[in-house]
Amino acid sequence: MKKGKTFLQIVVVGLCLVLAGGDLFAQTKIESQGAATIHNNMVDVARDKAIDNAQREAVEKAVGVMVSSFTEVENYQVKMDQILSESHGFINTYKVLDEKREDNQYRVTIEADVSVNRLKDKLEAVNLILSRKSRPRLMVLIGQGEKRDAVAESAMIKHFLSRGFKLVETKGVNRELSRYNLTVVADDAAAASKLGSRYGAEVLVVGRTEASTSRFTVNGVEMRFNKVNLSARAVKVDTAEVIATDSEIRSGPGMEDVIKSMTVEASEKLARKLTDQLINRWSYELTNTATIKLIASGLKSYRDLVK
């Protein structure tokens, strides 16, 4: 009888630990796959890239479990199912379960130990700051309509949407935007402010892309070296103040078509940099004294001002 009572006590204590400590014993081991194209028979480079992609997928899966609702964004509805990049910061360890080459693709399967609590804290902190700032309306404009500009703009918009920003849709105003020289606007905060104000944006992210391909010969074999340079700045529309600015460069050997993937990578990394700067800026504003400039017009006298 005493033995049975002891066993029952152990079961009850065990159940209490499981119920009370769900977070402590939360499953953080996530299996994921990644793949990368092998260029110029550089298998090691493709393997590293495939592992990076697998780590990103592991983080995406973890976020997907935590986020169960859609984020409402002006003219967009997206599920916040990814943080395309800070993957390394949320993965404690990983091990490769399987890897193989299939034609010009290298594929890996990994088991990653994802820091769910760290990821949750990051999502909640960003969401809280955006909410307290009433989710400023963001507008993204890159370049002058070249194909690579559209790729960069799309990648950056995707990132900002995944982080809960409200975006002003540019699809309907692209024709009208063609009369603006965005290269000039990218260097002129006042012009950027005027443009953003015209379309109801509170923050305008404007930038440019530059790409180049050089050819050289190694042992009689023609090689190509590609380079993508992407720069952008975020302008606070009402004050024409630059509140974030950065650039990102990607370069390496490969065919010309690799420029597209390099542009996407550079755009995602640049968008992350700008996001961090914006969040830090707004976090500072929320916890410190802010200076506000108010401009009043249409007043005929001091008495009107007093009224």
Q: Which of 101, 137, 116 is nearest to 25 (CA)?
A: 116
- 110 and 187 belong to one structural domain: no
Q: Taking a C-beta distance cutoff of 8 angstroms, is the pair 81, 63 a contact?
A: yes
pLDDT band at 64 (very low <50, low <70, confident <90, very high): low
pLDDT band at 78 (very low <50, low <70, confident <90, very high): very low
Q: Is 307 within a domain?
A: no
Please give the helix or strand (H or E) that residue 13 lies within, else none: helix 2-20
- 174 and 273 belong to one structural domain: yes
- 111 and 143 belong to one structural domain: no
137-142 and 105-114 beta bridge pairing: unpaired
pLDDT tens per residue across span 161-213: 888 888 987 765 655 566 667 777 778 888 888 888 888 899 999 998 998 88
- 144 and 116 belong to one structural domain: no
Residue 115: phi and psi, rounded to 5, are -80, 90
Q: Which of 145, 142, 138, 197 is nearest to 169 (CA)?
A: 138
- 144 and 273 belong to one structural domain: yes
- 192 and 76 belong to one structural domain: no
Which domain, by its residues, includes 189?
137-289
- 125 and 183 belong to one structural domain: no
pLDDT band at 289 (very low <50, low <70, confident <90, very high): low
- 171 and 251 belong to one structural domain: yes
CATH number of domain containing 234: 3.40.50.10610
What does pTM read for this prediction?
Answer: 0.59
pLDDT band at 288 (very low <50, low <70, confident <90, very high): low
Q: Taking a C-beta distance cutoff of 8 angstroms, is the pair 181, 172 a contact?
A: no
Q: Token match 């404009």: residue?
A: 141
- 84 and 223 belong to one structural domain: no
Please give the tally of structural domains in the chain. Answer: 2
pLDDT tens per residue across span 11-42: 333 334 333 334 433 447 889 999 999 988 88
